[in-house]
Amino acid sequence: MTNLIPVNEPLVGKSETDYVAECLRTGWISSEGRFIREFEERWAAYCGMKHGVAMSNGTVALQAAVACLGLSPGDEVIMPTFTIVSCALAAVYNHCTPVLVDSDPDTWCMDPSRVEELMTKNCRAIMPVHIYGHPVDMDPVLEVAKRHGLVVIEDAAEAHGATYKGRRCGSLGDLSCFSFYANKIITTGEGGMALTNDDHYAERLRSLRNLGFRSDRRFYHTELGHNFRLTNLQAAIGVAQLERIEQSIAHKRWMGQAYTERLKGLPELQLPVEREWATNVYWMYGVVLRESAGMDAAEFAKRLAARGVMTRPFFLGMHEQPVFSQMGLFQGEHHPVAERLARQGLYLPSGMTLTEQQVDRVCEAVRDALGGAK
Ligand SMILES: *Cc1c(COP(=O)(O)O)cnc(C)c1O
pLDDT tens for each residue of 166-201: 999 999 999 999 999 999 999 999 999 999 999 999
**How much is the pLDDT for 4?**
47
**Residue 5 clears pLDDT 60, i.e. is over it:** no
Average pLDDT along the chain: 95
What's the mean pLDDT in 325-345?
98
At residue 3, what are phi and psi to the nearest 5 degrees? Answer: 65, 35
**Residue 7 clears pLDDT 80, i.e. is over it:** no
User: Could you give the CA distance from residue 43 to residue 31 in angstroms, rounded to a whole number?
Assistant: 17
**How much is the pLDDT for 3?**
42
Residue to substitute in 79, 83, 158, 180 for testing ligand 1 pocket (most ligand atoms within 8 angstroms of CB)? 158
Instruction: Spell out the domain ranges in the chain.
Output: 16-242, 246-370
Neighbouring CB atoms inside 10 A of 42's CB total: 16
Helix (H) or strand (E) holding 146: helix 138-148
CA 218 to ligand 1 centroid distance, Å = 31
**Residue 94 clears pLDDT 80, i.e. is over it:** yes
CA 223 to ligand 1 centroid distance, Å = 26
**How much is the pLDDT for 372?**
57
Nearest to 47 by CA among 194, 264, 209, 146: 194
Residue to substitute in 181, 184, 230, 234 for testing ligand 1 pocket (most ligand atoms within 8 angstroms of CB)? 181
**Ligand 1 pocket member 110 (CB < 6 A):** no
CA 258 to ligand 1 centroid distance, Å = 26
User: Could you give the CA distance from residue 254 to residue 8 in angstroms, rounded to a whole number?
Assistant: 11
Q: Place 14 in a pLDDT band, splitting at 50, 70 and 90.
A: low
**Ligand 1 pocket member 59 (CB < 6 A):** yes
**Ligand 1 pocket member 341 (CB < 6 A):** no
**Ligand 1 pocket member 58 (CB < 6 A):** yes
231-262 pLDDT, tens digit each: 999 999 999 999 999 999 999 999 999 999 99
CA 291 to ligand 1 centroid distance, Å = 30
- In the chain, the percentage of residues whose pLDDT exceeds 90 is 93
Nearest to 101 by CA among 272, 297, 328, 330: 330
How does DSSP assign 72-92, residue by residue? -TT-EEEEESSS-HHHHHHHH
- More confidently predicted of 291 and 2: 291
**Residue 305 clears pLDDT 70, i.e. is over it:** yes
**How much is the pLDDT for 316?**
98
CA 98 to ligand 1 centroid distance, Å = 17
121-143 pLDDT, tens digit each: 999 999 999 999 999 999 999 99
Atom of ligand 1 at shortest range from CA of 283 = 15
100-113 pLDDT, tens digit each: 999 999 999 999 99
Atom of ligand 1 at shortest range from CA of 191 = 7
23-59 pLDDT, tens digit each: 999 999 999 999 999 999 999 999 999 999 999 999 9
**Ligand 1 pocket member 86 (CB < 6 A):** yes
The pTM of the full predicted model, rounded to 2 decimals, is 0.95
- More confidently predicted of 1 and 161: 161
**How much is the pLDDT for 215?**
85
Atom of ligand 1 at shortest range from CA of 60 = 9
User: Could you give the CA distance from residue 203 to residue 212 in angstroms, rounded to a whole number?
Assistant: 11
- Identify the CATH homologous superfamily for domain 246-370: Aspartate Aminotransferase, domain 1 (3.90.1150.10)
In CATH, what is the architecture of 16-242?
A: 3-Layer(aba) Sandwich (3.40)
Contacts of 1-7 spanning 24+ positions with Cβ under 8 A: 1/253, 1/257, 3/246, 3/250, 3/253, 3/254, 4/250, 4/253, 4/254, 4/257, 5/250, 5/254, 6/251, 6/254, 6/255, 6/258, 6/355, 6/356, 7/247, 7/248, 7/250, 7/251, 7/254, 7/352
**Residue 360 clears pLDDT 80, i.e. is over it:** yes
**Ligand 1 pocket member 176 (CB < 6 A):** no
297-306 and 356-371 are packed helices; what angle lies between their axes, rounded to 10 degrees? 120
**Ligand 1 pocket member 128 (CB < 6 A):** no
